[in-house]
Amino acid sequence: MRETSNHELNPNVSVDNVILGFDDDEIKVLLIERQPAGSSNGSLALPGNLIYDDETLDQAAKRVLMELTGISDIYLQQFHTFGDPGRITKKQDIEWLKAVRAHPEARVITVAYFSLIRIDEYEPTPSAFAKNAIWVPVDEVKSLVFDHNEILNKALVDVQQKLYHQPIAFKLLPEKFTLAQLQRVYEIILQTELDKRNFRRKILKTGFVLPLDEKQQGVAHKPATLYMFDQSKFNGGLQVSHF
Amino acid sequence: MRETSNHELNPNVSVDNVILGFDDDEIKVLLIERQPAGSSNGSLALPGNLIYDDETLDQAAKRVLMELTGISDIYLQQFHTFGDPGRITKKQDIEWLKAVRAHPEARVITVAYFSLIRIDEYEPTPSAFAKNAIWVPVDEVKSLVFDHNEILNKALVDVQQKLYHQPIAFKLLPEKFTLAQLQRVYEIILQTELDKRNFRRKILKTGFVLPLDEKQQGVAHKPATLYMFDQSKFNGGLQVSHF
DNA sequence: TCAAAAGTGTTCAAAATACACCCATGT
DNA sequence: ACATGGGTGTATTTTGAACACTTTTGA
């Protein structure tokens, strides 16, 4: 019989992290190549693993991300739990579990988290069973292990919806950014084009994006004003009154 | 070692259901009194229990609700997973677990679901370890077992937000309803008052609330036209353009 | 005839949309 | 001097908000 507060891996519960990154150009997701790869030609996965019995789910997500990719100090947000008993069917997934897990046959449910970060502010360094950690543009992602494609897709949909209510766009930008960069983030996440003048008006009217006394440097055109996000002035999203 | 596809209870994963009901007057939540109550004077809980290893989370939520309250055929929606290792601390919770669980010390995470139903269309009949199943107005809910108060509160917040994007208000009403009834649902969930004329205009403009050739009967005032929700015309919520 | 809720329109203010040119910088 | 992206304003349409009286029915 297992005990509550032991530092033991729980064979039935894992966490998976969808880390989305931005490099001024496109949205990428952080994937790991599993070690051992078994028969596979480099099977890719979201960074995830079993939880310990004495940590919260949030702590587990942070720890697992750190252990597999070296990335720490980012805000991870739970978005859905996946628990289809049939989520492990691929032969090479089963082989991999046999190689690394104490209870490879156990039914595992996984609590999924996402985060948005700026790619150039983090340097993934694979460890534990991650042979490699790479950024892959989200529309170039091929088949992932387990049900990780499904998890990634749901994360992308959720991020789109949360863009209106949470200040997540700013997590994809450096602390000081131009409005053009911010607009690009919105356009890429929403997969649409926005009018520059209307976008600026709307963003500035919210009051939580503040101009600095500072301009871009070394660009071959008129330098843009830099702006900052002011958390203290953020009160719950772009105001949307429904009634 | 446990096997994947056996019909066995998973000691580490449970589901909990927040069933919100409406009776034309206020929002109530369906709670059960646990059997055995132990030393307790009627400890109340959300209907929830451990999952089996061969069912999906959604199936587990449905089954558990059915087993404890007899309610079936309602749409349950997953909204959050709670997994604080300290979520079981109250003495009487621990005693109860010892009385009914094969692994009372196991660390349990719980996947929470909510649903909205019309109270007069369901007749809860307690069974299994539910000694009783009762509707309690949400603002009269006292201390619940485990972390069920936290789960209930998060459900209420989530329902508020989803009211704008999902057709959940209609689940609280009979198939045919008046616009005044619908307005009351919005007012109660949002905890605010709405202008009758503006509400009607806005709802009718969406196109997914259709008038019928039918009126209320037997009311001591001008009978209201009945309306229906048309799922096929619902395309993702009250239109909100953000840019 | 009264009580009770249904149903209906207009005005004003705010927000969304569409749209085109000049500006500052580096090369 | 030219290429590049930065930055700005206005007119029109759409939406939100505030507000009060007449209608139909059963008792």
When CB atoms are compared, the residue of B13, B105, B195 closest to A13 is: B13
- What are the structure tokens assigned to A137, written together? 């543009």
Where is average pLDDT lowest: A27-31, A45-49, A85-89, B140-144? A85-89
**With an 8 Å Cβ cutoff, are B111 and A106 in contact?**
no
Residue A221 approaches strand C within 7 Å at CB: yes
Q: Is B3's CB within 8 Å of A105's CB?
A: yes
Task: Give the pair of three-digit tokens for residue B35.
Answer: 């059997």
CB A79 within 8 A of CB A181: no
Res A87: pLDDT: 86
B196 to chain A: closest CA residue: A243
Each residue's pLDDT tens digit, A63-91: 999 999 999 999 999 999 999 998 888 99
**Residues A242, B238: C-beta atoms closer than 8 Å:** yes
Report CA(B222)–C1'(D23) in Å, whole number. Answer: 8
Tokens at B52, concatenated: 């089996």
pLDDT tens-digit readout, A87-142: 888 998 999 999 999 999 999 999 999 999 999 999 999 999 999 999 999 999 99
Q: Is B127 helix (H, G, I), strand (E, B) or coil?
A: coil
Q: Where are the alpha helices (DSSP H) in chain B?
A: 57-69, 91-100, 148-162, 179-190, 196-206
Query: What mean pLDDT is predicted for residues B177-194?
Result: 96
SS3 B227: strand
Strands B109-118, B44-45: pairing is: unpaired
The domains located in chain A, with CATH, are 9-162 (3.90.79.10), 169-233 (1.10.10.10)
Q: Is the CB of B214 under 7 A from strand D?
A: no
- Among A235-239, B48-52, B123-127, B137-141, which stretch is predicted with the lowest mean pLDDT? A235-239
Beta carbons of A83 and B13 less than 8 Å apart: yes
Q: How confident is the model at residue A190 (pLDDT cuts 50, 70, 90)?
A: very high
Interface test with A, best of B2, B81, B111, B158 (most A CBs within 10 A): B81
Listed as ranges, the nucleotides of chain D within 7 A of a protein C-beta are 3-10, 15-20, 23-27
Contact indicator for B47, B128 with CB cutoff of 8 Å: no
Reply yes or no on whether the pLDDT at B221 is more than 70: yes
Q: Which string of b and e fits A20-43 if b means at least 16 CB within 10 Å?
A: bbbeeeebbbbbbbbbebbebeeb
Query: Would the Cβ of A192 be found within 7 angstroms of any atom in strand C?
Result: no
pLDDT at res. B40: 56
Pairing, β A225-229 against β B9-22: unpaired
